[in-house]
Amino acid sequence: MTNALEQLLREITSQPALENDFYRRWMSESIRIEELEIFARNYGAWVKSFPDALATLIAATDDLDAKGEYVKTLYSEMGYGNPRKAHSVLLDDFFKELARKLGEGGRLNRDRLERDVELLSSTRELIEGERELYGDAQMSFGAQLALEWQAYTMLRKLYDGARNYLPLWSNPDEFHEACEYFYTHIGAAEKDHKEESLNAVRRYARDEESLARIVEGYHRHLKLISDFWQGLYRAVTELAAKSSAATGEA
Ligand SMILES: [Fe+2]
């Protein structure tokens, strides 16, 4: 029954959610502080909203084993109970350090970005759409499967791009300390979550109909994620075009 899903998962890395212009740009060069603001504002909002989406998923799931798997994922997202290690906080710490190294201390702080930088509509759609999918007793299994299976590649690519800034740190050890957000994901966490989400699906895909709903949730979530990266790429590219036009005029 789950063969169709396993086939989808094998092909996930070539999906536009995982292979897109934003990642290409992010990995190929260091982007400027104005562009980083858009990235940090939007990606930061998604990361911060994720535990709440997981809570919806847990509430919508009847199956006790699946519920337990999702609880483990949520617990790890929240830093195993240590608020300073919650993933959104680790991400904030990275941006805080990066801004400081760029000589722009405070500029990528979450409070400031939430106040001054508008959220893109594609980000809002991802956050709301994700929560909606996670609230659906069947589609949620596929939606969570998509999220967890794209996450390792996403974090690996974001980390690869973050390394473009490594020369800003005079002490490379401190760069790695600032990268804790990435390391917790490309270490054990995401590998475990992949298995946990697949275990949940294996138990749940009992007939053709439930499998079809799971696959639908999977595709819908990937589409939201793909649109999110595309929206981010467009916003960052438009900003770069605007500022080079302004420099040209001056
Ligand atoms: Fe995370």
The better pLDDT of the pair 119, 201 is held by 119
Q: How far is the CA of 84 from the centre of ligand 1 (A)?
A: 13
- How crowded is residue 55: how many other Cβ atoms within 10 Å of its Cβ? 15
pTM of the model: 0.93
- pLDDT score at 49: 98
Q: How far is the CA of 3 from the centre of ligand 1 (A)?
A: 27
CA–CA gap between residue 159 and residue 137 (Å, rounded)? 33
Q: How far is the CA of 104 from the centre of ligand 1 (A)?
A: 26
Q: How far is the CA of 191 from the centre of ligand 1 (A)?
A: 12
CATH of residue 84: 1.20.910.10
Q: How far is the CA of 138 from the centre of ligand 1 (A)?
A: 23
Q: How far is the CA of 63 from the centre of ligand 1 (A)?
A: 23
Domain of 223, in residue numbers = 3-244
- pLDDT score at 189: 57
Q: How far is the CA of 11 from the centre of ligand 1 (A)?
A: 22
Mean pLDDT taken over the chain = 92
Q: How far is the CA of 132 from the centre of ligand 1 (A)?
A: 19
- Cα–Cα distances (Å) from 71 to 7, 147, 161, 181, 240, in that order, read 27, 15, 31, 20, 41
Contact 18, 150 (CB under 8 A): yes
Q: How far is the CA of 242 from the centre of ligand 1 (A)?
A: 33
Tell whether the model's pLDDT for residue 249 goes beyond 60.
no
| Confidence tier at 10 by pLDDT (50, 70, 90) | confident
CA–CA gap between residue 221 and residue 130 (Å, rounded)? 7
Question: Looking at the domain assignment, is residue 96 inside a domain?
Answer: yes
Number of domains in the chain: 1
**245 CB contacts (<8 Å, ≥6 apart)?**
none
Contact 54, 69 (CB under 8 A): no
Question: Looking at the domain assignment, is residue 161 inside a domain?
Answer: yes
Q: How far is the CA of 87 from the centre of ligand 1 (A)?
A: 5
What would the pLDDT profile of 107-160 be if each residue is shown by its tens digit? 999 999 999 999 999 999 999 999 999 999 889 999 999 998 899 899 999 999
Q: How far is the CA of 202 from the centre of ligand 1 (A)?
A: 23
Q: How far is the CA of 185 from the centre of ligand 1 (A)?
A: 6
What would the pLDDT profile of 59-102 be if each residue is shown by its tens digit? 999 888 889 988 999 999 999 999 999 999 999 999 999 999 99
- pLDDT score at 194: 73
Ramachandran class of 105: left when φ > 0, alpha when ψ lies in -120 to 50, beta otherwise: beta
Q: How far is the CA of 102 from the centre of ligand 1 (A)?
A: 25
Q: How far is the CA of 1 from the centre of ligand 1 (A)?
A: 29
Q: How far is the CA of 157 from the centre of ligand 1 (A)?
A: 14
Question: Looking at the domain assignment, is residue 250 inside a domain?
Answer: no
